[in-house]
Amino acid sequence: PALPTGTGGGAKVLGDADAGPPRAVALPVADARQHVHMLGKTGSGKSTLLVNLILQDAAAGRGQVVIDPMGDLVTNVLDRLPSAALERPIVLFDPCDESVPVPRVNMLDGAEPYLATDHLVGIFSKIYAGFWGPRTDDLLRAACLTLMQADRARADLPFPTLAEVPELLTDARIRRRYTDALRHDRHRVLLNFWAGYEQHSEAARAQLTAPLLNKLRGFLMRDYPAKVIASGPTDIDIQAVLSGGLLLARLPKGVLGEETSRLLGSFLIAKTWQGATARAGMHPDSDRPDAALVVDEAHTYLNLPLRVEDMLAEARGYRLSLILAHQDLGQLPAAMREAISANARNKIYFNASPEDAAKLAKHTYPNLGEHDLARLGAYQAAVRLVVAGAEQPACTLATRPMPPAIPGRAAELRTRLTGNDIPAETPGTTGASGTTEQEVSA
């Protein structure tokens, strides 16, 4: 498709057209707010394109949050980060590097305790859907609200974290300290809940709490996740990240375990979403700098208690662009698959199975059919982009190789993080180095 040259905020180069005269194929930044659905098997070129897109945004000063379930994506980005990105706020989650300070993401802090509780309970209920019932939901919700709403100064209580939930549920003395710190005029429902809880026998309480406690303890007994979510208040500035910084979450399932990786990634998406929705107070809309949330294996981490279609629709208004990547359609629950199909309007498909190709071809027809999608070569993708709000005809492209690794770049960044050598102020988001901002296809 022919992309306009007047894209204002620039464009993200996806690759080069592999038919006709040589030309770059790019996605205008404004149209990236319509979100990207990227599908590709291992070895197809999906990860290479993700790295290139992340590096372009980093060079342009656009904020990003990257969720990586394998570890290689973040490793490749760290090896190639442009110099300009090193001068902006960078947050790195890496359980394999003990020298880097562990960032804290406490789900029980913030100005909106009810919203934080909804997100936390919603994440747990989705991840443990087969083992989660209304009583477990009620317990976790009451415990979280109690920890957040108790008057800490009045009762000399610790900063609320998930680590306090087991003690609250199992130790009557600690429970009494928290209930005494609640206000009868504001927290009557919570106080009634705990009064009813005390009516149960100790054996009945143990039976009631067991389904929740075994999940919390399985998470909290791991050193790295406990440091992330249960060692104090959140110490990352998500607004600084969205306004030009970079948060890289390396969450390898082989190191953390699948459930722990899933929980941590879901928590980070929840914090990112809270930061994005806080932009509602920025007027005019042009004061909201563009940012991206890049999620590989997206089906693993989209666990917020709101519908995916609602999240995608609202994110556009906050100028948060989502790139949702995964390997095949069978990984997506039916509701998520339909939501992404309808609301992530930019489509990037690498080689697909015949079964997936038959479904995906609905988005690329008539230019590309299911036969074409099932026979794409390595590092070749079919794309259907949105330009100036309008869907363009589908075409194919060849992705560009990753730039060469910069010797010592990852080590330099890790050293800076270890020494807290990170700028305190949020940088501006204009003024990019390199040529990718100007490259668009003709």
In a domain, 441, yes or no: no
- 291 and 410 share a domain? yes
**Domain-embedded: residue 414:** yes
170-188: per-residue pLDDT in tens?
A: 999 999 999 999 998 899 9
d(CA 33, CA 344): 9
Residue range 103-115: average pLDDT?
A: 92
pLDDT of 4 over the 50 cut: no
Residues 127 and 29 in one domain: no
With beta carbons less than 8 A apart as the criterion, state whether 296 and 286 touch.
Answer: no
**What pLDDT was estimated at residue 435?**
34
pLDDT at position 192 over 60: yes
| 143 and 268 belong to one structural domain | no
Mark whether 254 and 372 lie in a shared domain. Answer: yes
Contact status, residue 169 vs residue 162, Cβ threshold 8 Å: no
The number of domains in the chain is: 2
Q: What is residue 315's predicted lDDT score, i.e. its pLDDT? A: 96
State mean pLDDT over 379-388.
97
Q: Is 298 helix (H, G, I), strand (E, B) or coil?
A: helix
Helices (H), 200-333: 202-220, 223-229, 238-242, 253-256, 258-277, 298-301, 308-317
pLDDT band at 283 (very low <50, low <70, confident <90, very high): low
Q: 438 in a domain, yes or no?
A: no
Whether residue 434 is contained in a domain is answered as no
Please tell me whether residues 301 and 208 are part of one structural domain. Answer: no
Q: Are residues 63 and 205 in the same domain?
A: no
pLDDT score of 1 = 43
Element holding 28 (H helix, E strand): strand 24-28
In the chain, the percentage of residues whose pLDDT exceeds 70 is: 92
- Domain identity same for 91 and 207: no
What pLDDT is attached to residue 286? 73
Banded pLDDT at 142 (limits 50, 70, 90) = very high
Q: How do residues 220-273 score in pLDDT, each as one tens digit? A: 999 999 999 999 999 999 999 999 999 999 999 999 999 999 999 999 999 999
Residue 384, CA distances (Å) to 367, 388, 424 in order = 10, 13, 40
**pLDDT of amino acid 308:** 96
For the chain, the helix, strand and coil percentages under 3-state DSSP, each to the nearest 5 = 50, 15, 40
Average pLDDT (3-32) is 80
Residue 398 lies in a domain: yes
Same domain (yes/no): 353, 390: yes
What value does the mean pLDDT of the chain take?
91
CB 402 within 8 A of CB 36: no
- Are 37 and 133 in the same domain? no
Contact (CB, 8 A) for 10 and 29: yes
Evaluate if residue 55 carries a pLDDT over 50. Answer: yes
Non-local CB neighbours of 303 within 8 Å, separated by 6+ positions: 122, 123, 126, 127, 262, 266, 269
The CATH number for 336's domain is 3.40.50.300
Per the domain annotation, does 435 fall within a domain? Answer: no
Task: Provide the percentage of residues in the chain whose pLDDT is more than 90.
Answer: 85
Considering only CA atoms, which of 112, 110, 132 is closest in space to residue 121? 132
Does 165 share its domain with 118? yes
Residue type, position 272, single letter: T
Q: What is the pLDDT of residue 367?
A: 95
DSSP 72-130: HHHHHHHTT--GGGGGS-EEEE-TT-TTSPPP---TT-SS-HHHHHHHHHHHHHHHTGG
What is residue 437's predicted lDDT score, i.e. its pLDDT?
36
DSSP 145-206: HHHHHS-HHHHTPPPP-TTHHHHHHH-HHHHHHHHHTS-TTT-HHHHHHHHHHHHS-HHHHH
Res. 395: pLDDT tops 90: yes
| Residue numbers of the domain that contains 40 | 11-102+237-418
Rounded to an integer, the average pLDDT of 358-381 is 97
Whether residue 142 is found in the same domain as residue 271? no
pLDDT of residue 9: 53
Same-domain check for residues 385 and 287: yes
- Domain assignment present for residue 425? The answer is no
pTM: 0.91
The reply to whether 1 falls in a domain is no
